Structure 1
């Protein structure tokens, strides 16, 4: 796979708010261009505190016909009650999906009677009906994309969506982010969109603020392509922009840390 220099598409901001405002403006601009050329757009969203400022700013963007946009999310826990606020679908419903008049929102169902694999297969069928135009995502502390942690990440995964076991580093991040009070409360299994599905989207917008992500940002930009850091695969995508703040970019060379 050819590797692009993500440093050329890395934007560093003084704080999370500035990051979110600019990312939202650029996502909205791309979405308007897509809707000017085609009748409908399809987007996938990450659910995480790292996305909060961007999604809030996106709901304020003008002149977008959200009635022509179908939304998906990229992962969901398997061990939480349907009403649990920690569920990613519920988090996105509050932060975004109930704020805008989407044409449709498709949730990963992990609460019904079907098996995790059957639920993953059903969601994969929805995702694969048409191309994905835009994905708004983040990067985990261990470099995960969605819930593709290093032990389960596969750059050539034959599945579009799959059940996974969560790496301890990933689960610890959920506590560090304030999503759960203790590690014992964090589920150990989930369903995730796989890396090839993420990479198949036309445009990736990756928001990664905070000092806890500094090593992951460094690895994404500097490490060789490796599943030990799944986010390094982003360097093979022709249209991927990473938005960080000064804290997340702290381990990068000064010449890379050029503010937009």
Structure 2
């Protein structure tokens, strides 16, 4: 696990660098796309590089981490709508090349099974963008989630619904109680995981992720078992890290030839 502590603008550029290197090397790369406020700066940087430098996503495929259950088609906070608005419509990435779990399906279990198969049929995810919740959840794998879980329906905790209420005019009751989410096992199958966290509210979760014991109580800790994880955090999110000085030293002395 590589930990990089820097300013948020620098971190967004680093994540964009990793994605640009991938899609330049492989025009048919498969990206795992997160939503929420954390990856927005990364997506803005990719859009800038597309518009100003000609970075193309025409052959890329994408898979969303999760989706709310029961929101009507086109709802502004449905993750399919959010990713279309914030990223897909601003690139040469075809809409049909980006898939998400179907939170409006009549048979949700079958939709989850089909989503897992779609990822497998695409050859798996090359690079997965992740955020982390204040309680250590990744995607919507809440505390107590199976560390080997696959795409499934989950019930959101009250804390997560409160955290997400800002997207629903601060009305907690407007946040759906259920979601479809990639499981921890699904996420762990991606070849490169890039997790971003900003602000002191994420400090304890980041501490557990990087330095704590692996536990279902902090689902993100399973990432310690992945062979290629990049954790990009600002000073606030890094404020609980006991080895912060070492992580800074390691990053400063990183060989030029070694990518993220």
Under TM normalisation by the shorter chain, which class is it?
A: 0.7 to 0.9
Match for residue 203 of structure 1 among 192, 200, 209: 192
CA contact (8 A) 1:78 1:187 kept: yes
Aligned-pair Cα RMSD in Å: 1.8
- In the aligned structure 2, how far is the partner of 1:22 from the partner of 1:221? 19
- In the aligned structure 1, how far is the partner of 2:179 from the partner of 2:86? 21
CA contact (8 A) 2:23 2:60 kept: no
Aligned residue in 1 for 2:137:
144
- Count of equivalent residues: 242
Match for residue 120 of structure 1 among 105, 112, 117: 112
CA-CA distance at 1:101 after TM superposition: 1.9
> Any idea what the Cα deviations from partners look like across 1:121-158, whole Å, max 9, x if unmatched?
2222211212211111111111111111113x21222x
Aligned residue in 1 for 2:17:
25
Q: Are 1:13 and 2:1 matched, yes or no?
A: no
Aligned residue in 2 for 1:91:
82
Unaligned runs of 5+ in 1: 1-5
Counterpart mapping for 1:147-226 below 5 A? 147-151=140-144, 153-157=145-149, 160-175=150-165, 178-180=166-168, 181-226=170-215
CA-CA distance at 1:32 after TM superposition: 2.2
- In the aligned structure 1, how far is the partner of 2:193 from the partner of 2:110? 27
Aligned residue in 2 for 1:255:
245
CA-CA distance at 1:190 after TM superposition: 0.5
Structure 1 residue runs of 4 or more that deviate by more than 4 Å after TM superposition:
none
CA contact (8 A) 1:249 1:257 kept: no
CA-CA distance at 1:256 after TM superposition: 4.2
CA contact (8 A) 2:65 2:100 kept: no
**Aligned partner of residue 143 in structure 2, secondary structure:** coil
| TM-score normalised according to structure 1 size | 0.87
- In the aligned structure 2, how far is the partner of 1:138 from the partner of 1:31? 21
- In the aligned structure 1, how far is the partner of 2:237 from the partner of 2:246? 12
Aligned residue in 2 for 1:57:
45
Aligned residue in 1 for 2:256:
none
- In the aligned structure 1, how far is the partner of 2:229 from the partner of 2:102? 29
CA contact (8 A) 2:207 2:240 kept: yes
CA contact (8 A) 1:139 1:145 kept: yes
- In the aligned structure 2, how far is the partner of 1:138 from the partner of 1:111? 24
Q: Are 1:44 and 2:32 matched, yes or no?
A: yes
| TM-score normalised according to structure 2 size | 0.87
> Any idea what the Cα deviations from partners look like across 1:7-36, whole Å, max 9, x if unmatched?
xx111113x222212221222123323x1x
**Aligned partner of residue 155 in structure 1, secondary structure:** coil
